[in-house]
Structure 1
Amino acid sequence: MSLLAPLFISHGGPDVLINASPARHIWQQYAATQPRPRAILIMSAHHLAREPLVGWSPRWQAVHDFGGFPRELYALNYPAVSDEQLARQVQARLAAAGVAAHLQQANGLDHGAWVPLLMMYPQADIPVITLATLPHQDARTHYLLGKALADLAADGVQIIGSGSVTHNLYALGAPDAPAQPWAQAFADWVAARLEQGDSEALLSWQTQAPFARENHPSDEHLLPLFFALGAAQGRPGRSLHRGIEYAAVTMDAWVFE
């Protein structure tokens, strides 16, 4: 079975599905060029837990975990199936790596998961498994979670980290506002380290990256990047898309081939 390269996607707001952002078309085009996954394992910045939590569902539903957006977005759904056996395999692989993970039968996918999946796999006919982001843990913890599950990519599982390269909602501007210099500087630093495969610098982003706290007042939207990087076992990244919207929302997407 073909190796499916891990992905990191900056998912933006749910209105990425209807606004002028090119990001959704790039997700769609990339998925169309790749072998069909047998399953998807996704870590979203909007699914948080204190301990590793592996989720599956007999039938997922889209959770509309947002407010103030156009009404049409609330009518969207993503009724994907799941795979309890794969969820148990994920739990077992984490246990073998010394990580105690809990299994959860869940119902809903947050928008950090279903928004990109709706564009990439619109038929919702590929089983989806989730792994929670751990906001009280650091980048290295998430890297090691990905590393423990890296072999799944060779077994037809598409591993996705969904978050945002920058995430400071207090600094949002108009849709056509120019990029904040501090957001651009941070995104450029991350891009250079990903292209170089400099995992150690990335794992020390809080002290090495410029304007770290301006871009991430809290860590949860960057942590799925380290999960994807770990699943790629530190391989360099290739940019699928780069761009900053609303002055401070970096919509960069990366594949680790």
Structure 2
Amino acid sequence: MRRLPSLFVSHGSPMMALEPSPARSFLAGLGADLPRPRAVLVVSAHHDAAFEGGRTTVTASPAPPTIHDFGGFPDAMFAMRYPAPGDPALAERVVALMAGHGLTVAADPERGLDHGAWVPLSLIYPAADIPVVQLSIASYAAPEWHYALGQALAPLRDEGVLIVGSGSITHNLRAYAAARPPIDAPAPAWVRDFTSWIADRLAAGAIDDVLGAIERAPHGRDNHPTPDHILPLFVAMGAGAEDGTLKAKRLHDSVTYAVLAMDAYAFG
């Protein structure tokens, strides 16, 4: 079986499911450019152990429900469903892989897929016919912990599982709320400088630099006042690194609402 890459995608606003944008068009064509996986493992910024009693969990439902974890959006958003099947056996495989690396993960038979998972997947695999399992981040844990999480997941790439980190390469919602820019507003310099630095460091395979991006990159704190939306990038990096070497390919870059950069990367 062909080894799959790991991916990082920026999921942006939930409205990407409905609104035209370059990022939406990119994701809508991405599935056709990838080998078809037997299952997808998503690590979403919106499934956070910090809000679940500190427990890192993986979804184990055979039919995970669609979670509408947002407010203030049109009724059409709340009517959307992504009825992909789950994969309890894959969830147990994830638990075992984590245990083998000294990481504790619990299977959750009830939790569904949040919008960080189902919005991009509804574009990548609109038929919802590929099983999906979702693993939480832990925003209280270090970038290096999330990279190690990805390393533990790496064997799944040889088992037909597509590992997808879903977050946002930039994520300052206060800046958005203050200005309310239109969807096609250009990015300010503080966003462009950060995404360019990330692209440069990933192209160089500079793992330590990227793991320290919030502190080291220009305007790191401006783009990530909280770390949750960059942590899935680190998991995807860990899953895609081979023999301590990271090969990254920038698949897409665009910006929505001026401050939400929509970069996507493949690793491995």
TM-score, normalised on structure 1?
Answer: 0.96
Q: Deviations over 1:38-70 (max 9, x none)?
A: 111110001111232111212122111112222
1:243 matched residue in structure 2: 254
Give me the whole-angstrom Cα distance separating, in 1, the residues matched to 2:172 and 2:47: 18
Match 2:265 to one of 251, 254, 257: 254
Superposed displacement of residue 22, structure 1: 1.5
Q: Does 2:136 correspond to 1:132?
A: yes
Larger displacement relative to structure 2 (122-131 or 161-170): 122-131
Give me the whole-angstrom Cα distance separating, in 1, the residues matched to 2:23 and 2:185: 17
Superposed displacement of residue 25, structure 1: 2.0
Give me the whole-angstrom Cα distance separating, in 2, the residues matched to 1:245 and 1:143: 27
Give me the whole-angstrom Cα distance separating, in 2, the residues matched to 1:87 and 1:22: 33
2:80 matched residue in structure 1: 76
SS at match of 2:258: coil
Contact 1:171 1:247 in 2 (8 A): no
Q: Percent identity?
A: 46
Match 1:227 to one of 227, 235, 250: 235
Superposed displacement of residue 24, structure 1: 2.0
C-alpha root-mean-square deviation of aligned residues, in Å? 1.2
Give me the whole-angstrom Cα distance separating, in 2, the residues matched to 1:148 and 1:26: 29
Superposed displacement of residue 187, structure 1: 0.8
1:215 matched residue in structure 2: 223
Give me the whole-angstrom Cα distance separating, in 1, the residues matched to 2:2 and 2:110: 29
1:97 matched residue in structure 2: 101
Larger displacement relative to structure 2 (78-87 or 169-178): 169-178
Contact 2:214 2:224 in 1 (8 A): no
Give me the whole-angstrom Cα distance separating, in 2, the residues matched to 1:33 and 1:252: 17
2:164 matched residue in structure 1: 160
Match 1:200 to one of 184, 198, 208: 208
Unaligned regions of 5+ residues in structure 1, if any? Answer: none
Larger displacement relative to structure 2 (183-192 or 53-62): 53-62
SS at match of 2:108: strand
TM-score, normalised on structure 2?
Answer: 0.92
Contact 1:60 1:107 in 2 (8 A): yes
Give me the whole-angstrom Cα distance separating, in 2, the residues matched to 1:204 and 1:244: 23
Give me the whole-angstrom Cα distance separating, in 2, the residues matched to 1:34 and 1:249: 25
SS at match of 1:62: coil
Give me the whole-angstrom Cα distance separating, in 1, the residues matched to 2:195 and 2:5: 22
Larger displacement relative to structure 2 (152-161 or 74-83): 74-83
SS at match of 1:227: helix
Give me the whole-angstrom Cα distance separating, in 1, the residues matched to 2:183 and 2:122: 23
Larger displacement relative to structure 2 (37-46 or 52-61): 52-61
2:44 matched residue in structure 1: 44
Larger displacement relative to structure 2 (216-225 or 197-206): 197-206
2:113 matched residue in structure 1: 109
Unaligned regions of 5+ residues in structure 2, if any? Answer: none
Give me the whole-angstrom Cα distance separating, in 2, the residues matched to 1:174 and 1:150: 39
Match 1:53 to one of 52, 57, 60: 57
Superposed displacement of residue 28, structure 1: 2.4
1:189 matched residue in structure 2: 197
Contact 1:3 1:156 in 2 (8 A): yes
CA change 1:128–1:96 in 2 (3 A) is same
Q: Does 2:14 correspond to 1:10?
A: no
Give me the whole-angstrom Cα distance separating, in 1, the residues matched to 2:193 and 2:151: 28
Partner letter of residue 256 of structure 1?
Answer: F
Greater than 6 Å deviation, 4+ residue runs: none
Partner letter of residue 119 of structure 2?
Answer: V
Give me the whole-angstrom Cα distance separating, in 2, the residues matched to 1:120 and 1:34: 10
Give me the whole-angstrom Cα distance separating, in 2, the residues matched to 1:31 and 1:198: 28
